[in-house]
Amino acid sequence: MKLEVGRIAAAHGIRGEVRVTLWDPEIPQEGRPLYLEGEDEPRRVLGVKAWKAGAILALEGIATRDAAERLAGRRLYGETSQAPSLGAGRFYVHDLVGCAVYDEEQTLLGTLQDVLGGPAQDVWVAEGPKGRYLIPAVHATVVAVDLPGRRITVRGGGVLGPDAAR
């Protein structure tokens, strides 16, 4: 499985380097393979330089400014096995999607489908037999996350149910 690590912002210089906005500055390392959005085969990172919003990368097979310019806006992915472990209470989206979501009374609300980034906190989207639920990703609402058991328990007071999620 692949994990999105950043997005190519623009070309940099004349040798095919690209400026990349990164979600985690530790991901691109020389020699590490990264996948470009829309490509099945990885490209090896040939060089990394610091940049204010991320990094400037030299990628295998990209040697001209024209080639680099065509990559602007594309996402970069790494292997999930290369992802750094997160601290307690933090999760990768790909680990959460697909988990069953229950309320405190053990009623199945649905399956987590998406995570929407918000200005104050993320909002988790669950779809179930009664419709869509919007769940603020805060301690007051999310009671427990059991990734090995693929189960999330939420406190109903903060959850917007099918009628409010339209």
**Whole-number mean pLDDT of the chain?**
86
Distance CA 63, CA 15 (A): 5
pTM for the full predicted model: 0.57
8-state DSSP, 166 = -
Domains of the chain, residue spans:
2-82, 93-158
Report the run of H or E that residue 96 belongs to, with start and end.
helix 93-96
Q: At 122, list the tokens.
A: 């993320």
Identity of the residue numbered 45: V
Instruction: Express as a percent the part of the chain with pLDDT over 70.
Output: 88
Lowest mean pLDDT, pick from 38-47, 48-57, 87-96, 115-124: 87-96
Distance CA 27, CA 77 (A): 10
Strand 100-103 with 151-154, pairing: parallel
Residue 157 has a pLDDT of 62
Residue 165 has a pLDDT of 44
- Level-2 CATH architecture, domain 93-158: Roll (2.30)
Main-chain dihedrals φ then ψ at residue 92, nearest 5 degrees: -80, 145
Choosing among 3.90.79.10, 3.30.450.40, 3.20.20.70, 2.40.30.60, the CATH entry for 2-82 is: 2.40.30.60
Q: Are 67 and 19 in contact (CB under 8 A)?
A: no
Q: At 13, list the tokens.
A: 């210089």
Q: Give the confidence band of 166 by pLDDT, cuts at 50, 70, 90.
A: very low
Top pLDDT among 86 and 18 is at 18
Lowest mean pLDDT, pick from 9-23, 77-91, 139-153: 77-91
Vertex 72: Cα angle to 8 and 59 (nearest 5): 55
Q: Give the confidence band of 87 by pLDDT, cuts at 50, 70, 90.
A: confident
